Amino acid sequence: MRDSEGIKYLRSIRMRWISSGLLASVFLAASISLVGITFWNIISPASYWLILPLSLLISVVIVQIFRIWKINEDDVSRLLDQTYPQLEESSSLVLRKSETLNILERLQAQKIENEINNIKTPALIYKRLKISALFLIISVLVSVLIAKTDINTLKSIDSGIENEGTPSIPDKILPEISSVRLKVIPPAYTNKNTRVQQQFSATVEDGALLEWVIETSQPVNKLQFIFNDKERMKLHSLNKTGTKWTLSKAINKPGFYQVDLDGKLSDLYKLETIKDEPALIRITSPKQYSTIDFGEPQKTNLQVQINDDYGINDTYISATISSGQGESVKFKEKVIRFSESINGKQEYKLQKMIDLPALGMVPGDELYFYINATDSRKQQSRSDVYIVTIQDTAKLMSMDGMLGGINLVPEYFRSQRQIIIDTEKILKEKNSISEEEFKNRSNNLGIDQKLLRLRYGKFLGEETDEEIGEEHDEHAAGEESAAFGDAQKIMDAYAHKHDIAEDATFFEPELKAQLKATLTEMWKSELRLRTYKPEEALPFEYKALRLLKDLQQKSRAYVSKTALKTPAIKAEKRLTAELDKIIQPSAERTLSKNDEENPLKKSTSIIAKLKEGEKLNQSDLIILQEANRKLAAKASAEPASYLKALGIMRKILDTSRSSKVSSGELFLMEAALQRMIKNEVKTPQAKITAPGTSLSTEYFNSLKRQQP
């Protein structure tokens, strides 16, 4: 009976261990599901009921990973031995049958049996449960914080109306106004829901419809809005008592307005508009100017990313194919559609493999294309023009143009062309010659390619094979005595400067980079020729030749022919020495000084007087009123930058107010005025000299001329 009681106790601990592990898996899966659904809900609306099936699925995965159900009595006994030293690492004896134990093991089992009955369940089996519960609490707090941050989106899902929170700085409204309700109806192209706010100041989409509903604490005879100090709009009363008023207006440009309640004006409220930008197109592949060389697939992989503020309705590829040369050139236009469907999303990553032969292109033709995109507001935008050229090998192998212009080492160009001719010849004769001869000829072509590469390497300061490892004259030991004490010469002895490619001065950096690319293609060609693969070397040979011909074209200097038409010479006027008709050309114009900025400049000096506490006179007020008109015009265009300064200016001009303007407000208005002041254009001034200056200057110049 003692053995069965010990086993029952160990089994009870095992069941607690498995239960805590399963519950920990559920807690961990629930925390992961809750955080995941919360973030998903920010991107697109989703129901929180999805947490249940998602938690169940994740729990099954966690249980499968940790294999919690495989915990047995042996695992429990090992845990007890590690936790309680009084068990003397003998708790496993309780699990064994008494018939299999010897005398000492039975005595030890009886002792451990008494100890097991007095021990508690190990706290280690609940460690995973505590950690997972902590994770669940943290995930709940994080989810609540995210939901609070995105409260507008959650409200729009439930009611279809987005209620934006009030700005950090609330508007100052007239005391007679008890409440204001501004309903913002975004235009259809934004695909946004209607939102409501309790503020006069608003930031709305371009073309949005605003509906004001204002309630007053007492009846009002007349209530109107003044927009940008120009337009006045009366509100309509919704009841007979005159305590509830409304007005609707579409906002197409930024500005400001104020409330006129029976002649009493409120503060200035800003209306900012969010401009709808056209779609942004970015082509990541191919390059803007790309060439398809011989042997390369005549296809181009187009990868483009298009972004827009509110959505993209349509996009396509406008392609133009140019064929022929000179007067016989022909153009053919095509519209290529993407395979992906465009359904109004804000971002698209599109890809299109353009098969050039399928468009009717042959070697020598050029493809000009650009991407056109239309957003939800029917605004069109297009990318830059990209050019893809299929290299014409027949034109590349021609000798046209080799004799004109400056020809850099022409025998090298002919050598590269000859390597291509010999490579094509060996490929044609491959089936009619022996394998040994084929390899020898291919290897010899590789040697010729190497020699050509080494010749061009000299232009970049590279060494030839013969120079590598040789002793140079400047490194001779005989000069050591002469260089004794000269630190620069000692460093030159160990610094191999002349073989650095970047120090070569034969070409400009752009030509040098292209020559390096040419050497790279020659090296790739040489590698294939040396390994008896001339068919693989041919594309690199053609590309090297094309780069060399480009270098030749870049070295030319072009001077256009111009026709010079000289006036006819009158024979009777020649050699007469009459210069009375030759006069110095002069032009006269009247420059009027622009006084537009003077009120702004003068107002800054008046602000300086206000900082010192001086009172303003009537002339100062007139200057400030003129600056106020200019500031109002600027604030209507940029309310976010100048509206506060306009309010401070009107506070200064309102002499009926007893409140004073603080120094901080004066600094703010002064900064706004300084931004408005433009740099004056310098006008020519008449030179004023003192009397008698010309005589002394002439005397000084005469003395200077007489000096030896």
- pLDDT tens-digit readout, 531-583: 889 998 988 888 888 888 877 766 554 444 555 567 777 777 777 777 777 77
Counting Cβ atoms within 10 Å, is residue 162 exposed (0-12), middle (13-18) or buried (19+)?
buried
Sign of CA dihedral 34, 37, 42, 45: negative
Q: What is the DSSP letter of 690?
A: -
| 308 confidence band (pLDDT: 50, 70, 90) | very high
- pLDDT higher than threshold 50 for residue 604: yes
Question: Average pLDDT in the 238-266 region?
Answer: 90
* Cα dihedral 351, 355, 356, 357 in deg (nearest 10): -170
Query: Do 333 and 320 form a contact (C-beta atoms < 8 A)?
Result: yes
Question: Average pLDDT in the 283-309 region?
Answer: 89
Six-digit token string for 617: 């006179």
Question: Cβ of 253: how many Cβ atoms within 10 Å?
Answer: 12
Query: Do 323 and 333 form a contact (C-beta atoms < 8 A)?
Result: no
Distance (Å, whole) CA 262 – CA 176: 10
Q: Which pLDDT belongs to residue 212?
A: 93
Maximum average pLDDT range among 94-103, 320-329, 463-472:
320-329
Tell me the one-letter amino acid at 384. D
Which residues are CB-neighbours of 229 under 8 A, at least 6 positions away? 632, 636
Distance (Å, whole) CA 122 – CA 76: 10
- pLDDT higher than threshold 60 for residue 107: yes
Say if strands 202-205 and 208-216 run parallel, antiparallel, or are unpaired: unpaired
Strand partners, 182: 197, 212
- pLDDT higher than threshold 80 for residue 6: no
Is the pTM for the entire model greater than 0.75?
no
Distance (Å, whole) CA 355 – CA 390: 12
Which helix (H) or strand (E) segment holds residue 331: the answer is: strand 330-336
CA-closest candidate to residue 320, choices 382, 380, 387, 392: 387
Question: Cβ of 414: how many Cβ atoms within 10 Å?
Answer: 12
Between 615 and 461, the higher pLDDT residue: 615
The secondary structure of 582-646, three-state, reads CCCCCCCCCCCCCCCCHHHHHHHHHHHHHHCCCCCCHHHHHHHHHHHHHHHHHHHHCHHHHHHHH
For residue 160, what are the CA distances in angstroms to 25, 148, 157, 164, 671?
A: 37, 18, 6, 13, 43
Which residues are CB-neighbours of 119 under 8 A, at least 6 positions away? 80, 84, 86, 87
Three-class SS state of 654: coil
Question: Cβ of 400: how many Cβ atoms within 10 Å?
Answer: 7
Q: What is the DSSP letter of 155?
A: H
Place of tokens 């236009």: 333
DSSP codes, 264-313: EE---EEEEEE--PPPEEEEEES-SEEEE-TTS-SEEEEEEEEE-SS-EE
Tell me the one-letter amino acid at 408. L
Distance (Å, whole) CA 544 – CA 391: 12
Lowest mean pLDDT among 315-324, 351-360, 671-680, 689-698: 689-698
Query: Do 271 and 184 form a contact (C-beta atoms < 8 A)?
Result: no
Question: Average pLDDT in the 631-652 region?
Answer: 85
Distance (Å, whole) CA 79 – CA 122: 8
Q: Which pLDDT belongs to residue 708?
A: 56
Question: Average pLDDT in the 17-45 region?
Answer: 78
| 168 confidence band (pLDDT: 50, 70, 90) | very low
Describe the chain by its helix, strand, coil percentages, rounded to 5: 50, 20, 35
Which helix (H) or strand (E) segment holds residue 657: the answer is: none
Six-digit token string for 687: 């030179």
Model confidence pLDDT, tens digit, residues 687-696: 555 555 567 7
Distance (Å, whole) CA 95 – CA 73: 8
| 401 confidence band (pLDDT: 50, 70, 90) | very low
Question: Average pLDDT in the 432-438 region?
Answer: 89
Model confidence pLDDT, tens digit, residues 62-78: 877 777 766 766 776 67
Which residues are CB-neighbours of 432 under 8 A, at least 6 positions away? none
- pLDDT higher than threshold 70 for residue 632: yes
DSSP codes, 173-213: --TTEEEEEEEEE--GGGT--EEEES-S-EEEETTEEEEEE
- pLDDT higher than threshold 80 for residue 341: yes
Distance (Å, whole) CA 103 – CA 413: 102
Maximum average pLDDT range among 649-653, 692-696, 697-701:
649-653
Distance (Å, whole) CA 113 – CA 94: 7
Distance (Å, whole) CA 456 – CA 517: 11
Mean pLDDT of the chain: 77
- pLDDT higher than threshold 70 for residue 406: no
Distance (Å, whole) CA 43 – CA 184: 23
Between 282 and 398, the higher pLDDT residue: 282
Which residues are CB-neighbours of 702 under 8 A, at least 6 positions away? none
**Share above pLDDT 90 across residues of the chain, in percent, rounded to a whole number:** 17
Long-range contacts of 487-490 (CB under 8 A, 24+ apart): none
Torsion-angle region of 157 (φ positive above 0: left; ψ -120 to 50: alpha; else: beta): alpha
